[in-house]
Structure 1
Amino acid sequence: MSLLTAFASVLLLAVLLSSLAHRTILSTAALFLVAGFVLGDGVLGVVSATAGDDVVGTLAELALFAVLFTDGMRVGWADLRTAWRLPGRALGWGLPLTLVITALGAHYLVGLGWIESLLIGAILAPTDPVFAAALVGNEKVPPRLRQLLNVESGVNDGLALPFVMVFLAVTAGSADLHLGELAAELGLGIVIGVVVPWVAIKLERTRWFAASTQYEPLNALAIGLLVLALGKITHGNLFLAAFAAGITVATFGQRQRESFEHFGELIAEMLKLAALLVFGALITPALLGAVGWRGWLFALLALVIARPVAIWISFLGSGLSVREQAAVAWFGPKGFASVVYGLIVLGSGIATAQEVFQLVAVAIVLSILLHSSTDVVVARWFDDEREVPAWYGTARRLSERARKRAPS
């Protein structure tokens, strides 16, 4: 079975089950991950994929570019200015604290060197609300909590990226370490991501150019493709370019943002699911067993200690209720950015690439399975109607009827 056939089949199944997934603990992301694992070389062997395959690297690159581009569009500068207080705590304190606590676990529990441990911390620090969709999309969850999770997850992928690249460069050793060149690539990516969409939006506002209603959704797509092409030609960092481009479009092109939003999210979702399928195919029973009990314990602690402790410290005195803080602390799922960063490390050729990837893979697998299967349960925690037992409402109605019938 080819990769395309496998993806099309699982995608059709996911579409047919999507309504059920919105109401239950069934997760589309988990479906693709498990399907990749079962179809991969480790189990059925009908889909073959290795880290060195061109399709793996290309798919991961395109998927992360699309995700960061659409993430950036959700958090224009105006949105950040009006809703920065709580997300600022999560990003300014929570992200680095999560990185450090995770690195401490990797160093002292697994025995990795400090740089490799910091690399793993940077890879696992970003969060993804896709695996907590029922919580983020539930209108009975406090708006500030949903906004906090959305803004945090939209920004932290891009913020974690420089740390991943720097620690990866340091891990590669002095022969491959060119921090000046790395800084130039990161800076060039940001410049491309800001200049290209700004010029494109300004051109459309002149009297010589105007996008028709039919082609309006393609405007932002064309901007994204041009940013991608120029980033490849100039060797600017594609991922920072994508994130910066998304923020620039959201800031200066509200019309372009709105017309592209649904279309862009579908493109990013398809690429993301395809990459999850490939990621699952790379995970084998041998890989899951190779990490040993220390690796599994590290992955569990990364989910139940690193993020919760970092969030508890970050939100001291913030005014969030205990229930809200608990929800934010738990729903820090290791999402798609961590998947792609793990694939980047696996293909980097560093000496510890396999070990780092194995630990990251185990943490991501646990996160996807645990977070995507508990989002509905925790979302109901905020449903005030569900907090009252069903029998209570019936008993109260019967009591009121009896009182009305009773003689005065």
Structure 2
Amino acid sequence: MTLLLAVVLSALAERSVLSTSVLFLAVGFGAARAGVPGFSGDAHMLSTFAELALFSILINDGLRVRTDELRQTWHLPGRALILGLPVTLAVTAVLAHAIAGLAWWPSLLVGAALSPTDPVFASALIGAEHVPVRLRRLLNVESGLNDGLALPIVLGLLSMHGAARATPAQAVAEVAGGVVLGVVVAWLAVRLVRLPFIAVTHQYAPLGVVAVALIVFSLSKLTHMNEFVSAFVAAVTLAHLVPRARETFAPVGEPVSETLKLAALLIFGALLPPELLRGPAANYVFAFLVILLARPVAIGLALFGSELPRQEWLTAAWFGPKGFASIFFGLLILRSGAEQADRIFDLLALAVTVSVLAHSSTDVLFARWFRQATAA
């Protein structure tokens, strides 16, 4: 029923602040509170859907990356990752300590978990052709890689207090291994289909990307490599070696990613406890400042002195949406039994909720702003 409603309202959502993401989040929350059967919420189910949604989204985003364009604008996402992510972590940790009242170690954990960004809640912006390429590449590549960079930090902080099953060195190895795995699997797949006696029909062509994605996901699990990094890198490699792969896969990949995203938001909404929304005002102040202060400060420092025009800088400063990576890290922290894990998860959940409401409702407005600027 909710999915059908989203389909019916999709055209309206494309030209207004109405967001299907907010719709599914609200329906999940309301249905669970009303006691609707099947909406009790399950943390394991949320973890599974969040992981699958993020994986499929990164496949789609990686396919959008054009390496020829990236070579010209690589320094912008590079700055956002190398400088922006640590600054985001630091500012968020200070806010968690000063406003939410957490000790320094849990504050750093909150900062690490909220440092990645999620492109799915800025899809109207990233997918708009009239938005400058360098801005879209900045947001796309940054969000494709920053969760892999944040994971070793999260695991490192957990291991310092004996609450992680992996050491920081193992986490770094997982990320590096994910890069190698993504490149190798994609390269081998392309070499296979280019053999002289091999031919791929038009009907089965989109399934080639699906097959690579499934192989990457399975091997990542078997070898304990980072599946998110391997997904993004495999997709970028495919797009570089077979440029038509992005157009071939889009009719299949985008609906699948959208469905998984909406399912994850429905479950996330069902899991949100009413006590979270009735929490202290300090929690809300923290959540809003993560969006209104941490991201702009981080991007401002990271892109200081760059050639980015004011309109693009303001857009990059606003669109640092918190999403499935933060949810995934939050569940990881919750399962670890770390000190104040419940409090940490509550702050993460509230920040993600505020971000979903704010960013998925304004991406259309920013895309329209660029369209008007282009037409002027």
Fold shared, TM-score > 0.5 on shorter chain: yes
- Please list every run of 5 or more consecutive structure 2 residues that lacks an aligned counterpart in the other structure: none
- For 1:266, the equivalent position in structure 2 comes to 255
Q: 1:236 to 1:336 in 2, by over 3 A?
A: closer
Deviation digits for residues 324-344 of structure 1, max 9, x if unmatched?
Answer: 322221222213322333233
Match of 2:231 among 230, 237, 242: 242
- For 2:308, the equivalent position in structure 1 comes to 320
1:279 aligns with 2:268: yes
- Contact persistence 1:192–1:227 (CA under 8 A): yes
Q: 1:248 to 1:167 in 2, by over 3 A?
A: farther
1:383 CA drift (Å): 4.7
What is the CA–CA distance in structure 2 between the aligned matches of 1:213 and 1:342, rounded to whole Å?
41
- For 2:359, the equivalent position in structure 1 comes to 371
1:69 aligns with 2:53: no
1:90 aligns with 2:80: yes
- For 1:152, the equivalent position in structure 2 comes to 142
- For 2:2, the equivalent position in structure 1 comes to 10
Q: Secondary structure at the match of 2:278?
A: helix
1:358 CA drift (Å): 0.5
Q: Secondary structure at the match of 1:319?
A: coil
1:308 CA drift (Å): 0.9
1:19 CA drift (Å): 0.4
What is the CA–CA distance in structure 2 between the aligned matches of 1:356 and 1:202, rounded to whole Å?
46
Structure 1 counterpart of 2:205, one-letter code: E
Structure 2 counterpart of 1:320, one-letter code: L
1:319 CA drift (Å): 2.9
What is the CA–CA distance in structure 2 between the aligned matches of 1:110 and 1:217, rounded to whole Å?
47
Deviation digits for residues 183-218 of structure 1, max 9, x if unmatched?
Answer: 443443333222222111111111132221111100
Match of 1:342 among 316, 330, 335: 330
Q: Secondary structure at the match of 2:93?
A: helix
Match of 1:124 among 105, 114, 119: 114
Structure 2 counterpart of 1:332, one-letter code: G
1:62 CA drift (Å): 1.9
Q: Secondary structure at the match of 1:200?
A: helix
What is the CA–CA distance in structure 1 between the aligned matches of 2:310 and 2:260, rounded to whole Å?
37
- For 1:405, the equivalent position in structure 2 comes to none
Structure 1 counterpart of 2:145, one-letter code: V
1:309 aligns with 2:301: no
Q: Secondary structure at the match of 1:374?
A: helix
1:155-234 maps to which residues of 2 (within 5 A)? Answer: 155-173=145-163, 176=165, 178-234=167-223
Deviation digits for residues 134-154 of structure 1, max 9, x if unmatched?
Answer: 444555544443443333333
- For 1:19, the equivalent position in structure 2 comes to 11
Structure 2 counterpart of 1:93, one-letter code: L
Structure 2 counterpart of 1:377, one-letter code: L
1:39 aligns with 2:27: no
Q: Secondary structure at the match of 1:317?
A: coil
- Contact persistence 2:178–2:227 (CA under 8 A): yes
Structure 2 counterpart of 1:196, one-letter code: V
Q: 1:63 to 1:377 in 2, by over 3 A?
A: closer
Q: Secondary structure at the match of 2:336?
A: coil
- For 2:318, the equivalent position in structure 1 comes to 330
Q: 1:259 to 1:379 in 2, by over 3 A?
A: closer
What is the CA–CA distance in structure 2 between the aligned matches of 1:134 and 1:60, rounded to whole Å?
20
* RMSD of Structure 2 on Structure 1 (CA): 2.6
Larger Rg: 1
- Contact persistence 2:96–2:107 (CA under 8 A): yes
1:66 CA drift (Å): 1.6
- For 1:49, the equivalent position in structure 2 comes to 41
Q: 1:151 to 1:238 in 2, by over 3 A?
A: closer
1:369 CA drift (Å): 1.2
Deviation digits for residues 57-112 of structure 1, max 9, x if unmatched?
Answer: 32222222222222222335444312213333322322221111111111222232
- Please list every run of 5 or more consecutive structure 1 residues that lacks an aligned counterpart in the other structure: 1-8, 389-408
Higher alpha-carbon deviation: 329-338 or 358-367: 329-338
What is the CA–CA distance in structure 1 between the aligned matches of 2:139 and 2:93, rounded to whole Å?
23
Q: Secondary structure at the match of 2:307?
A: coil
Structure 2 counterpart of 1:373, one-letter code: S
What is the CA–CA distance in structure 1 between the aligned matches of 2:321 and 2:137, rounded to whole Å?
16
Give the length in aligned residue pairs: 375
Q: TM-score, normalised by structure 1?
A: 0.83
Deviation digits for residues 270-323 of structure 1, max 9, x if unmatched?
Answer: 111111111111102112224x22211111110111011112222222233333
Runs of 4+ in 1 over 6 A off after TM superposition: 385-388
Deviation digits for residues 39-72 of structure 1, max 9, x if unmatched?
Answer: 12x4445311132x4x333222222222222222
* Structure having greater relative contact order (Cα 8 Å, sep ≥ 6): 2
Q: Secondary structure at the match of 1:373?
A: helix
What is the CA–CA distance in structure 2 between the aligned matches of 1:348 and 1:98, rounded to whole Å?
24
Higher alpha-carbon deviation: 371-380 or 134-143: 134-143
